[in-house]
Amino acid sequence: KNEVEQSPQNLTAQEGEFITINCSYSVGISALHWLQQHPGGGIVSLFMLSSGKKKHGRLIATINIQEKHSSLHITASHPRDSAVYICAAGPQETSGSRLTFGEGTQLTVNP
C-alpha cells in the first residue's frame, strides 16, 4: 500500500508570501493529484501530474518521480488561498481508481 505524507500539517503565511507544500509517497505511481478543500468543505481538483511541472495562475505543481516527491507552490499568496491542500497518489493503472490520499495541509494566509 502506498503511504502518502504531506508536510507541513499546518502553515500560516502573510499575504504575498511564497508558499510550498510538500508531498512524498512510498511506492511508484502513475499519477499524483493536488486537491483544494475549501473552508466550507467542498473539494476541487487543482492538478494531475505524471511528470515535470504544471502551472495554473499563481499555482505551480512539480513532481520528481525518482525521489517520489511532489510540491505545490503558491506565489503571491492571498487570504482567499486559505484552505486545506491534499495530495493523492495513484498506482500503476488498474481497474478502478484507487488513490491514496495524504492527510492534508491546512494553509492560513493572513492579510
Enumerate binding residues for other proteins (CB under 8 A). Answer: 4, 29-31, 33, 35, 40-45, 48, 50, 86, 88, 90-91, 93-104
- Closer residue to other proteins, CB minimum distance, 66 or 94: 94
| Residue closer to other proteins, measured from CB, 41 or 111 | 41
For residue 12, list its beta bridge partners. 108
Nearer to other proteins, 18 or 55 (CB): 55
Q: How far is the CB of 97 from other proteins (least distance, A)?
A: 5
Q: How far apart are CA 36 and CA 84, in angstroms?
A: 6
